[in-house]
Chains A and B, each alone.
Chain A
Amino acid sequence: MCLGLPGRLVDTTVDRGTPMGVVDFGGATRSVCLTFTPEAEPGQYVIVHAGVAIAILDEAAAAESLDLFAEMGLTDPDSARGMA
């Protein structure tokens, strides 16, 4: 269930009262409904499911996750070397 892809909001408009936006998934762009993320601004990334944005991605949280992963497995000398 629930294929949701992050894409960068590049433009916002209002269509018959509905907030809409153009989202760039990295070379493929699609019109997306922003009713559930009305505060989304161009430049931010949103998760799109079935043509509707369901979340604005939290960049700080994403960076924190990646930092956490990068600190793991340091007890293993092989991966520690791989990271250096």
Chain B
Amino acid sequence: MTSIGTGYDLSNSVFSPDGRNFQVEYAAKAVENGGTAIGIRCKDGVVLAVEKIITSKLLKPGANKRIATVDRHVGIVSAGLVPDGRHFVSRARDEAASWRSVYKGPIPVSALSNRLGSYVQAYTLYSSVRPFGVTAIVGGWDSEAELAVDGQVGSGPKSGSGGKVDGARAGGPGLYMIEPSGLYWGYYGAATGKGRQAAKAELEKLDLSSGNLSLVDAVKEAARIIYVAHEDSKDKDFELEMSWISSLDGPTHGRHEEVPKQLLEEAEKAAKRSLEGEDEEEEEVAKDGPNQGERMEE
């Protein structure tokens, strides 16, 4: 059943007879036009990357960041309407701050995603609001070490259990994707935006669930995937923006940071090289015939 002309798409919070909320589906359409954003979760950290389409040559290169930091240990990247994404991040920061004021510690990535999922979902319920025009990828690292409570001044009693379980393991990477409907799931690899299909296909090849990919390799893969996803909109210029969160003993010490310039450039160079390699190979295949062109790319 089409939505056009039926009237069921005119308001949020109205179901169509076959059980769809068209406003939410339109919001998902807005996301499909945004620059590709991906997230990769590996054992020792999380990488976020986004294809930032350059809409004007008058924009300052490297300015207008699209990946935002929430608290210290979480990064959010979104595809879709940029202002909606900004508001989403602002809400995430408020949630993280409110968590701190109650629990005196950093918000777990799962709890933050849960709250943001609820927030986005609430915007599908009322006719006075429209749904979020973004799909957001939330990546972070929950500290594996025991953290001091914010403002803690001493070490507490030396005896007594204190509710601690010996040998209990906590913390680790977290990666969630929140859609305009409010639906959110945890992922090993997440992709959204225009090039999501190509990006998802590449992510699946990485076999992320086996936990063999290292964080630095994930940075390089993320760069390559954004370049692959950009192939379909080659006429537009873009900037690659990447951030990462490592474990406490890793390069960012559990903090969400931009990928250092040197590593970013290295990853970009490798990404370009691998794409050029593919092109050359295709040409070679065309020249030599299909049988001789089966060499693997590096």
Do A and B pair up? The answer is: no
By a beta-carbon cutoff of 8 Å, the part of chain A in contact with chain B is none
By a beta-carbon cutoff of 8 Å, the part of chain B in contact with chain A is none
